[in-house]
Amino acid sequence: MNLNQKIIRIITIVLTIGIISFLASYSVILVHNTEDPYFAKKIALITIGLILVSIVAGGFVLYCLREKKKGN
């Protein structure tokens, strides 16, 4: 694994963790401050969906880097 792949891997992991923690904390604050339960439910479900997309995208990038490593 060359230096560029290591840098991409580190950035991917940091961004994935950052996005997950930001969305989780933002969702908790927003749901806590709202009085409409349906809006809170929508926000929570959208946040869960975005977290899952973030995990899948980060995993896909790491998988692609792994395949490049095997190919070389």
Q: pTM for this structure?
A: 0.72
Other CB atoms within 10 Å distance of the CB of residue 16: 19
The H or E element spanning position 40 is helix 37-71
The H or E element spanning position 55 is helix 37-71
Return d(Cα 58, Cα 17) in angstroms, integer. 9
pLDDT band at 69 (very low <50, low <70, confident <90, very high): low
Return d(Cα 62, Cα 12) in angstroms, integer. 8
Q: Is the pLDDT of residue 72 over 70?
A: no
pLDDT one-digit tens code per residue, 9-66 = 888 888 888 888 888 888 888 888 888 888 888 888 888 888 889 889 888 888 888 8
Please give the residue range of the domain that contains residue 41: 3-71
pLDDT one-digit tens code per residue, 52-63 = 898 898 888 888
Domain count of the fold of the chain: 1
